[in-house]
């Protein structure tokens, strides 16, 4: 049956391209999606697939009920876009000013729709059930995953899988990893309060810019002197603002940044040390310091058994050389919450453009990806589904 489904997926490829390009032309920002979930729901309903709308807010869940007993397997795709101006010169360029799909979520959605159509064609012969999770708001914390989970998208699910198209990873490859794959994220804001004065008389005030500068440098000691050097940690300041005139020492300086880490204990240590260092350095230089830390997504941690099911599925439809054991990466992903509730795995599908002239990183204004990677994603989903069902038969 898998071979028949693979052929059907390949037949659906041109429709995947059409869906992807339509979505690319009509992107919607995180937590503002209206047209996109309606488009997805209508497409699934047109196939006769059972659909729940407004799951967790703006999510869509489709259910394909197989005609034979077996496990229930969920597959997830996100569908939100980013506040970026699309600078590509292509026919499917975004038509929404200042908004574009710069991370491949349009491709994730199209791939899952193509997979759903093929699987639904054979639903009476399928063992078990398929849950199609179309998620909103991944790009902007608090994300859509937790709301959808609370609203029951994983009820009755045995395994959950997801994939991300990667524009800088070689096409025709599937990238897998056991354990930690993507980091956790916490964002922070440090406000340093001094006492403003004339720039020519600094001794009559307390300079928050000086204190904030020393704090920013001291924060680097968290990575170099507090963290285990064998464990990954990033503490970065991405925003530093203070003052409005060249001859005025202001009252306040602020900086904002991010903490990226895999290990949960190291995450807590980094948060603790950031607060301690900022307050101690600022106090030592005569300032008062406020530290606000916003907890972001947890790290993506793959279940080894589930990841092995993906590996075997890839070998069944391609070969062992298609599989690449990848290193973990620091960008975050709220697929992590699905994995905290169910066994599952998240993997990457190489989608690097064939011409290097068109290769750009995610979140870039000229981002694009190799569209056949959508077909590959659907193939791997299908093969993985059947690997899960083999577990049922062998147990």
Residue 233 pairs in a beta bridge with: 261
Closest C-alpha among 131, 130, 126 to residue 151: 131
The separation between CA 330 and the C-alpha centre of its own chain, rounded to angstroms, equals 11
DSSP class of residue 94 equals -
Residue 394 has pLDDT above 80, yes or no: no
Closest C-alpha among 137, 259, 237 to residue 187: 259
Whats the size of the chain, residue-wise? 395
Q: What residues contact residue 359 under an 8 Å CB cut-off, 6+ apart?
A: 167, 168, 352, 353
* CA distance linking residue 76 with residue 133, whole number of Å: 4
Residues 64-118 pLDDT 10s: 999 999 999 999 999 999 999 999 999 999 999 999 999 999 999 999 999 999 9
- Contact of 49 with 116, CB cutoff 8 Å: yes
- Contact of 285 with 214, CB cutoff 8 Å: yes
Residues 123-151 pLDDT 10s: 999 999 999 999 999 999 999 999 999 99
Residues annotated catalytic, as ranges: 80, 138
Closest C-alpha among 102, 133, 121 to residue 40: 133
């Amino acid at each position: 049956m898998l071979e028949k489904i693979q052929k059907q997926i390949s037949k659906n490829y041109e429709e995947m391209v059409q869906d992807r390009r339509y979505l690319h032309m009509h992107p919607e920002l995180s937590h503002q999606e209206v047209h996109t979930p309606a488009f997805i729901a209508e497409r699934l309903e047109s196939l006769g697939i059972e659909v729940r709308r407004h799951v967790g807010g703006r999510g869509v869940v489709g259910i394909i009920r197989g005609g034979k007993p077996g496990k229930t397997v969920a597959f997830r795709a996100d569908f939100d876009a980013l506040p970026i101006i699309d600078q590509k010169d292509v026919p499917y360029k975004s038509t929404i000013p200042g908004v574009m799909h710069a991370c491949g979520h349009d491709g994730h959605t199209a791939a899952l729709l193509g997979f759903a159509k093929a699987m639904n064609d054979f639903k009476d012969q399928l063992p078990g059930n398929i849950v199609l999770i179309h998620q909103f708001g991944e790009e902007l914390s608090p994300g859509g995953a937790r709301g959808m989970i609370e609203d029951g998208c994983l009820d009755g699910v045995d395994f959950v899988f997801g994939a991300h198209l990667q524009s800088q990873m070689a096409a025709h490859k599937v990238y897998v990893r056991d354990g930690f794959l993507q980091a956790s994220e916490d964002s922070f804001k440090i406000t340093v309060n001094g006492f403003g004065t004339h720039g020519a008389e600094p001794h009559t005030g307390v300079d928050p810019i000086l204190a904030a500068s020393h704090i920013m440098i001291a924060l680097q000691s968290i990575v170099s002197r507090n963290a285990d050097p064998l464990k990954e940690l990033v503490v970065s300041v991405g925003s530093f603002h203070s003052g409005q005139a060249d001859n005025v020492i202001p009252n306040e300086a602020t900086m904002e940044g991010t903490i990226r880490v895999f290990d949960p204990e190291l995450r807590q240590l980094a948060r603790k040390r950031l607060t301690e260092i900022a307050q101690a350095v600022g106090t030592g230089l005569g300032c008062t310091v406020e530290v606000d830390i916003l907890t972001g997504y947890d790290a993506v941690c793959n279940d080894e058994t589930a990841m092995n099911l993906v590996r075997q599925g890839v070998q069944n439809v391609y070969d062992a050389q298609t599989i690449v054991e990848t290193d973990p990466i620091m960008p975050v992903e709220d697929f992590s919450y699905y994995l905290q509730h169910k066994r599952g795995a998240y993997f990457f599908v190489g989608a690097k453009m064939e011409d290097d002239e068109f290769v750009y990183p995610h979140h870039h204004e000229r981002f694009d990806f190799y569209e056949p990677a959508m077909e590959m994603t659907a193939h791997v989903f299908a093969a993985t589904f059947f690997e899960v069902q083999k577990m049922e038969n062998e147990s």
